[in-house]
Amino acid sequence: MAHGPTHMTGEQFREMAGRVASLIDRYWAGVDERPVRATVSPGALLDALPPRAPEAGEASLDACLADVESLVLPALTHWQSANFFAYFPSNISGPAVLGEFLSAGLGVQGMLWATSPAATELEMRVLDWLGAAIGLPEPFLFGTAGARARGGGVIQGTASDAALAALVAGRWRTLRSLPEADRRGAMPLLTAYTSTQAHSSILKAAMIAGLALGPDDHEQFRLVPVREDLSMDPAAMEAMLREDVARGRLPCFVSATVGTTSSTAADPLDAVGAALRRVCGSTPWLHVDAAHSGSACVCPEHRAIVRGVEFADSFCFNPHKWLLTNFDCNCFWTRDRASLTGAMSVTPEYLRNAPSDAGAVVDYRDWHVPLGRRFRALKLWFVLRYYGLEGLRSHVRLGVRLAALFEELVRSDARFEVAAQRTLNLVCFRLAPRTGESSEQTDARNRDLLERLNATGRLYLSHTVLPGAGAARYVLRMAIGAVRTGEEHVRAAWGLIATCAG
Ligand code: PLP
């Protein structure tokens, strides 16, 4: 008779879990000493790993853990370093890691309420907690209506998933507003809008949904110009909508950004929402992509960036960026669940069950592309309970305060300039143009400075290109908000930047 494999005993598991926890603890304790950006050459790790899986098991993870230390850690970019200032933060925390661990250990699959009621109902409750904590209006929450509410929140993998979900909901709602016979023919007439500064995931969603044939196809995917502060120009959007409607187009989706990737500019939701209503009524979907900056809304003093959110049909942000919660965790709320699930729901016989048929429960499988889903609410629940809202606010406030300090340091040095208005924890800056220097020469000096800085391994910054009155400008981005970053790291970073600038 065939036997199955030999599994870990409970005792072995507890012992190994302790050793993995020690490894993580040691990693955290020493991560600031490592070169922040990975220094390995392409293919180095690939060459160090055997080309085929082992036939015989090792009966222990000792050798594997040794390989983690000797092969894997040196080939990482250390996102958890206090000196990581690139892109946006990718926060983790003890409670979040333990929530992930527990979720893995419980191993439930919460595609339907019935496949693990706790996975669904904890997520509903935690999304209501967080939605209320960032000041979302009641229609975005389940509230006392629970599973029968018209709105509510869900954890999506990423802001990119959320954008796609919102877009297909808007497409569905717009097509449903037409007589049935006209719906299929209306597909080529649908149009979607976002600003030139929006994240590429919005365009990607349009490509996946068939509204753009490629990145340069702007026939149905329309890019709205921005104002001087790099936020969407609502008057330009209104003009575009009017022109499109006059041409017989069917606007179905607008994505406004609160905290653009390049510079954290915030689109004016009130003006964008009002313009959309004026031209198209309430059929097209207004989505708010607050992937990074949404975390700041746990602080009442930062909520001005979402003024007008009551116009929105959906809103999302990533606690996995700046709110102490491990990737992946995008929180997405909608006030119109029916359009979202209308666009996503397919019910084969094998998924049918009595509570779902009775409409008495939330089945999250209908809220996003994947059917299967992890129990991600656990980590968010752990974070919210461990830190409390006060703890989350103090984390955000520290990031903003340190960014203000860094901005001051940049302004105090005549060789540099701040390159975009700072809204929260991101400072865009660059070496200022020298008299008589071309914009290409200024860009080249900045590119060179960034490369020299990152090559030191002592910090990691990223760059972007921002539109300007004249030519576009290459700028450096200093994003502050890693869990370990304190004032000493920001001052040390500035010291290095000022020295490298020569
Ligand atoms: N939207 C904005 C404004 C972002 O800044 C980012 C990433 O930085 C994204 C969307 C994409 O995020 P995700 O990786 O969650 O898809």
Q: With H, G, I as helix, E, B as strand and everything else as coil, classify residue 358.
A: coil
Of 88, 156, 201, 329, best ligand 1 pocket probe by most atoms within 8 Å of the beta carbon: 201
Report the atom number in ligand 1 closest to the C-alpha of 160. 16
379 lines ligand 1 (CB under 6 A): no
Distance of CA 291 from the midpoint of ligand 1 (Å): 5
pLDDT value at residue 3: 85
pLDDT value at residue 121: 98
| pLDDT higher than threshold 90 for residue 1 | no
Q: How far apart are the C-alpha atoms of 423 and 264, rounded to whole Å?
A: 6
pLDDT value at residue 470: 76
295 lines ligand 1 (CB under 6 A): no
Per the CB < 8 A criterion, the answer to whether 375 and 463 are in contact is no
Of the chain, the end-to-end C-alpha distance in Å amounts to 74
Beta strands in 78-171 (DSSP E): 152-156
159 lines ligand 1 (CB under 6 A): yes
291 lines ligand 1 (CB under 6 A): yes
Mention the CATH class of domain 10-78. mainly alpha
What average pLDDT does this structure show over 191-219? 96
Pick the CATH number of 103-384 from 3.40.50.300, 2.40.50.140, 3.30.300.30, 3.40.640.10: 3.40.640.10
Q: Domain residues of the chain, as ranges? A: 10-78, 103-384
Residue 329, Cβ density class (10 Å: 0-12 exposed, 13-18 middle, ≥19 buried):
buried
Q: How far apart are the C-alpha atoms of 247 and 244, rounded to whole Å?
A: 5
User: Percentage of the chain surpassing pLDDT 90?
Assistant: 98
141 lines ligand 1 (CB under 6 A): no
How much is the mean pLDDT over the chain? 96
pLDDT value at residue 109: 95
What average pLDDT does this structure show over 407-429? 97
Burial annotation 20-33 (CB, 10 A radius, 16+ → b, else e): eeeeeeebbeebbe
Per the CB < 8 A criterion, the answer to whether 191 and 171 are in contact is no
pLDDT band per the 50, 70, 90 thresholds, residue 502? confident
Q: In what order do the strands lie in the sheet with 285-289?
A: 152-156, 330-334, 314-317, 285-289, 250-257, 190-195, 221-224
Distance of CA 161 from the midpoint of ligand 1 (Å): 10
The torsion defined by the Cα of 345, 348, 353 and 359, in degrees rounded to 10, comes to 30
Count of residues for the chain?
502
Higher pLDDT, residue 364 or 470: 364
454 lines ligand 1 (CB under 6 A): no
What average pLDDT does this structure show over 59-80? 95
Distance of CA 160 from the midpoint of ligand 1 (Å): 6
318 lines ligand 1 (CB under 6 A): yes
pLDDT value at residue 59: 85
Of 87, 289, 315, best ligand 1 pocket probe by most atoms within 8 Å of the beta carbon: 289
User: Percentage of the chain surpassing pLDDT 70?
Assistant: 100
